[in-house]
């Protein structure tokens, strides 16, 4: 079966220069979806507008009352929880901005052939659940514990490897209390919808989406670094296929503009009127708090500091920023860039890698300021 399965998987590849997107990339783009950028006006992304990426199918869960979450492996007391049992713990709620590790991939040159995001694979929600550290404390780790492995109910093939989706976290991340990792059963105050991992998922504040295991059914504490497919094959920053690469972890700083004015249907070019235009958007970083957001209205030649709102106690959520632009007739290119308190900022030239991961190239929005005559 392994030999035959490899026949359904195409090898990893880069698009040729000028090669448009294929039906395989489109099949991913039509079923997954990004945040329409105008929806960044909402502090919390309305239901259905948060980005979604599922590797395989969305599992069909007919009856959430029969769902079980097991905690096994290097623990003193293996556990199995129903949803009702998890809901009986004191609930924690955290506002988190999530971003796909492949956000921006389709703008890279050459383009890694995979889910083709432009810049919209992001969203912000209030997640409610049980802190993972409480479940790990209750199970009691053995001295051999090294990594915690999370298994979802989503099942498929990738590069010839049949698998349930699995990711690991080092103990210091999994058991941390700031931020707390959540075993979440609610999104914005209601049960998780199917595409966001219902009935149960992991939420790891500050990390890219691949760590946020959905349809969570098993937590397994292991005695060696986890080397499953999604940890050691996928989600590595590599420049050549033979490299082991660096793991993809926390979200790099990014600022995005809400495209101003109104769009053309097909080109998505924006049109604004002459005069003052309030530019606004969001900025976030999973590595350190955002320190500064700048905008450019001349394609990146010059940069102006924006008004950056405080985080209002939501360290792991995006922050709003704004800038008042005096638009003059003609064509303009708008950009924004964030810098975080670790000093990391966004590049004007792509930082390319083979998988198209953790790429935070600055956004460019062409705008026509229409002549009032």
Q: Which of residues 1-30 bind a copy of itself (CB under 8 A)?
A: 1, 4-5, 7-10, 19-30
CA dihedral 328, 333, 336, 337 (to 10 degrees): -130
Give the DSSP letter of residue 234: S
Distance CA 339, CA 69 (A): 39
Q: Count residues binding a copy of itself (CB under 8 A).
A: 73
Would you say 149 and 166 are in contact if contact means Cβ atoms under 8 Å apart?
A: yes
Pick from 68, 246, 262, 307: which binds a copy of itself (CB under 8 A)? 262
CB of 2 to a copy of itself, least distance (A): 9
Give the DSSP letter of residue 14: B
CB of 209 to a copy of itself, least distance (A): 14
Residue with tokens 């979450």: 69
**31 contributes a contact to a copy of itself by CB under 8 A:** yes
The region of 31-39, 83-91, 143-151, 311-319 touching a copy of itself under the rule CB under 8 A is: 31-39
**151 contributes a contact to a copy of itself by CB under 8 A:** no
Of 219, 197, 73, nearest to 132 (Cα)? 219
Pick from 223, 243, 264, 307: which binds a copy of itself (CB under 8 A)? 264
Q: What angle do CA 309, 314, 318 make, to 5 degrees?
A: 60
**63 contributes a contact to a copy of itself by CB under 8 A:** no
Distance CA 331, CA 86 (A): 55
CB of 42 to a copy of itself, least distance (A): 8
CB of 111 to a copy of itself, least distance (A): 10
The region of 38-46, 204-212, 240-248, 352-360 touching a copy of itself under the rule CB under 8 A is: 38-46
**60 contributes a contact to a copy of itself by CB under 8 A:** yes
Own/partner contacts of 11-20, CB < 8 Å, gap of 24 or more, are: 11/159, 12/112, 12/113, 12/159, 12/241, 12/354, 12/355, 13/113, 14/110, 14/111, 14/112, 14/113, 14/354, 15/110, 15/111, 15/112, 15/113, 16/110, 17/109, 17/110, 19/111
Pick from 44, 49, 146, 333: which binds a copy of itself (CB under 8 A)? 49
Q: Which of residues 165-204 bind a copy of itself (CB under 8 A)?
A: 193-196
Q: Which of residues 99-118 bind a copy of itself (CB under 8 A)?
A: 106-107, 113-114, 116-118
Nearer to a copy of itself, 38 or 227 (CB): 38
Q: Which helix (H) or strand (E) holds 174?
A: helix 171-174
**333 contributes a contact to a copy of itself by CB under 8 A:** no
**50 contributes a contact to a copy of itself by CB under 8 A:** yes
CB of 347 to a copy of itself, least distance (A): 20
**322 contributes a contact to a copy of itself by CB under 8 A:** no
Pick from 126, 158, 309, 311: which binds a copy of itself (CB under 8 A)? 158
CB of 133 to a copy of itself, least distance (A): 30
Q: Which of residues 118-147 bind a copy of itself (CB under 8 A)?
A: 118, 120
**268 contributes a contact to a copy of itself by CB under 8 A:** yes
**252-279 in b/e burial notation, b at 16+ Cβ within 10 A?**
bbbbbbbbbbeeeeeeeebebeeeebeb
């Amino acid at each position: 079966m392994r030999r035959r399965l490899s026949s359904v998987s195409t090898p990893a590849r880069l698009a040729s220069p000028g090669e448009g997107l294929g039906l395989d990339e489109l099949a991913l783009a039509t079923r997954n979806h990004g945040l329409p950028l105008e929806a960044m006006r909402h502090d919390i992304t309305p239901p259905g507008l948060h980005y979604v990426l599922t590797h395989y199918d969305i599992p069909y869960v007919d009856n959430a009352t029969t769902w079980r979450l097991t905690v096994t492996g290097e623990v003193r007391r293996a556990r199995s929880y129903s949803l009702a049992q998890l809901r009986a713990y004191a609930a924690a709620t955290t506002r988190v901005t999530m971003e796909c590790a492949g956000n921006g991939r389709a703008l890279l040159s050459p383009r890694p052939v995979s889910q083709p995001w432009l810049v919209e694979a992001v969203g912000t929600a209030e997640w409610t659940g049980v802190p993972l550290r409480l479940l790990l404390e209750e199970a009691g780790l053995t001295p051999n514990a090294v990594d915690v492995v999370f298994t979802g109910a989503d099942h498929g093939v990738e590069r010839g490897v049949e698998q349930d989706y699995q990711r690991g976290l080092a103990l210091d991340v999994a058991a941390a209390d700031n931020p707390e990792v959540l075993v979440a059963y609610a999104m914005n105050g209601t049960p998780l919808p199917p595409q966001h991992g219902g009935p149960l998922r992991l939420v790891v504040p500050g990390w890219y989406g691949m760590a946020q295991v959905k349809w969570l059914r098993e937590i397994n504490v292991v005695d060696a670094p986890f080397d499953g497919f999604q940890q050691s094959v996928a989600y590595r920053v590599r420049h050549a296929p033979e490299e082991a690469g660096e793991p993809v972890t926390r979200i790099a700083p990014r600022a995005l503009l809400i495209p101003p004015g109104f769009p053309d249907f097909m080109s998505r070019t924006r049109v604004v009127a002459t005069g003052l235009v309030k530019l606004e958007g969001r900025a976030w970083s999973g590595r350190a708090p955002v320190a500064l957001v700048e905008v450019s209205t001349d394609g990146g030649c010059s940069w102006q500091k924006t008004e950056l709102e405080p985080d209002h106690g939501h360290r792991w959520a995006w922050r709003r920023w704004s800038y008042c632009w005096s638009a003059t007739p003609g064509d303009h290119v708008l950009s924004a860039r964030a810098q975080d308190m670790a000093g990391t900022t966004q590049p004007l030239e792509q930082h390319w890698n083979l998988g198209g991961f953790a790429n935070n190239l600055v956004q460019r929005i062409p705008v026509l300021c229409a002549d009032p005559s």
